[in-house]
């Protein structure tokens, strides 16, 4: 069992297993061919996460500590059939929901401008947009999208519209399919992206998508950078027609001198939706649950796909 945490610090792990600590170091902790359960190191480059996978010939499960699994998908091609890929559903919802709300409020109320004014000792007052009475569109209504709506409710928004890959009904109302996005975008004051990165969502937010957003709308991306066409977004930002708050970018990390850094009306945070004080205890609870299921030959949770099927 390869873990990115030291096993002796996690209460409740099943006994009798051979736990090896690996957090992406150059040297492997053991022969990858002997690993049967691989917990992918968190917040490491995709190449690091995938590096041992081609040699993991005995592997039965891959567990990410992120909600998205796009960084490990190319590595699955080298695995034998029957390997289950599991994500970290339940770990990041609270933290990502908090950040999405923070980005919305900071952008609307002009917090970055206040900080810049404070640095200069300047008092800049005036009217700012409120979140109250705004219409919000959440694109990607899984567990994180739902957590974002949970945090929007107390702020007296006028309406929340929900979009996901497939149409369904929830206790809060309907979830619209992606095909209805063109009709929903012009009605939204705030568009929040929380969709996974897949072939169908890569470049989803292109010039046409952005062009359908209403003048003055705010785009918030807590999903993945490549969901948004950066060139198309820059054109809209530079025109001043919309604003944006981005926790993820394409490219990422955003290099020095990239035009997004200086684009008007954009707030950028460095992909910090997940790494908070809430991460470690929730990640450890997930691993304890998954490894106990594994040794007891019970079905694993959070299974995204199984190789060879």
Residue 162 pairs with which residues in a beta bridge? 138, 175
**Does 98 share its domain with 13?**
no
* Number of compact structural domains in the chain: 2
Domain containing residue 35:
2-87+278-306
CA distance 111 to 245: 12
CA distance 30 to 296: 24
Q: What is the pTM of this model?
A: 0.94
Q: Indicate which residues carry an active-site annotation.
A: 271
**Does 261 share its domain with 210?**
yes
Residue range 268-279: average pLDDT?
Answer: 96
Query: What are the angstrom distances between the C-alpha of 258 and each of 46, 142, 156, 207, 265?
Result: 22, 31, 37, 19, 15
- Which two tokens mark 85? 């890929």
- Give the pLDDT band of residue 25 (cuts 50, 70, 90): very high
Q: Is residue 57 part of a domain?
A: yes
Residue among 178, 199, 242 nearest 233 (CA): 242
- Other beta carbons within 10 angstroms of residue 96's beta carbon come to 25
Rg (Cα) of the chain, in Å, rounded?
Answer: 21
Q: Is residue 48 part of a domain?
A: yes
| Residue in this structure with the two tokens 């009605």, named with its chain if needed | 187
- Give the pLDDT band of residue 180 (cuts 50, 70, 90): very high
**Does 136 share its domain with 73?**
no
CA distance 291 to 98: 29
Angle formed by the axes of helices 111-120 and 93-109, nearest 10°: 60
pLDDT at site 259: 98
pLDDT at site 303: 98
Encode pLDDT of 76-131 as tens digits: 999 999 999 999 999 999 999 999 999 999 999 999 999 999 999 999 999 999 99
- Give the pLDDT band of residue 269 (cuts 50, 70, 90): very high
Q: What percent of the chain has pLDDT over 70?
A: 100
**Does 264 share its domain with 216?**
yes
- Sign of the four-CA dihedral 85, 96, 150, 230: negative
**Does 83 share its domain with 102?**
no
Residue 193 pairs with which residues in a beta bridge? 139, 221
- Which two tokens mark 49? 């996460």
**Does 132 share its domain with 15?**
no
**Does 77 share its domain with 201?**
no
CATH number at residue 7: 3.40.50.720
Q: Is residue 273 part of a domain?
A: no
Contact 134, 158 (CB under 8 A): yes
- Give the pLDDT band of residue 256 (cuts 50, 70, 90): very high
Encode pLDDT of 121-177 as tens digits: 999 999 999 999 999 999 999 999 999 999 999 999 999 999 999 999 999 999 999
**Does 174 share its domain with 283?**
no
Residue range 36-64: average pLDDT?
Answer: 97
**Does 35 share its domain with 153?**
no
**Does 118 share its domain with 247?**
yes
CA distance 153 to 205: 25
**Does 138 share its domain with 194?**
yes
**Does 298 share its domain with 218?**
no
């Amino acid at each position: 069992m390869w873990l990115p945490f030291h096993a002796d610090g996690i209460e409740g792990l099943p006994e009798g297993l051979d736990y090896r600590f690996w957090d992406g170091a150059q040297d492997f902790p053991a022969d990858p061919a002997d690993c049967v359960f691989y917990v992918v190191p968190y917040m490491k480059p995709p190449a690091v996460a995938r590096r041992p996978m081609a040699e993991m010939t005995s592997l039965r499960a891959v567990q990410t500590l992120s909600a998205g699994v796009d960084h490990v998908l190319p590595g699955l091609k080298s695995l034998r059939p029957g390997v289950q890929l599991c994500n970290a559903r339940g770990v990041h919802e609270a933290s990502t929901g908090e950040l999405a709300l923070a980005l919305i409020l900071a952008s609307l109320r002009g917090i970055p401008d206040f900080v810049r004014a404070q640095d200069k000792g300047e008092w800049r007052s005036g009217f700012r947009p409120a979140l109250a009475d705004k219409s919000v569109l959440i694109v990607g209504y899984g567990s994180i999208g739902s957590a974002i709506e949970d945090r929007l409710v107390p702020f007296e928004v006028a309406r929340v519209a929900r979009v996901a890959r497939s149409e369904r009904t929830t206790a809060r109302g309907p979830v619209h399919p992606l095909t209805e996005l063109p009709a929903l975008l012009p009605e939204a004051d705030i568009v929040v992206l929380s969709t996974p990165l897949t072939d169908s969502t890569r470049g989803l937010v292109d010039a046409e998508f952005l062009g359908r957003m209403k003048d003055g709308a705010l785009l918030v991306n807590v999903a993945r950078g490549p969901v948004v066409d950066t060139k198309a977004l820059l054109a809209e930002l530079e025109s001043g027609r919309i604003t944006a708050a981005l926790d993820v970018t394409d490219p990422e990390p955003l290099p020095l001198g990239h035009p997004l850094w200086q684009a008007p009306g954009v707030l950028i945070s460095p992909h910090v939706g997940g790494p908070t004080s809430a991460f470690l205890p929730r990640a450890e609870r997930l691993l304890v649950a998954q490894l106990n299921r594994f040794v007891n030959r019970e079905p694993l949770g959070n299974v995204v796909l199984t190789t060879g099927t």
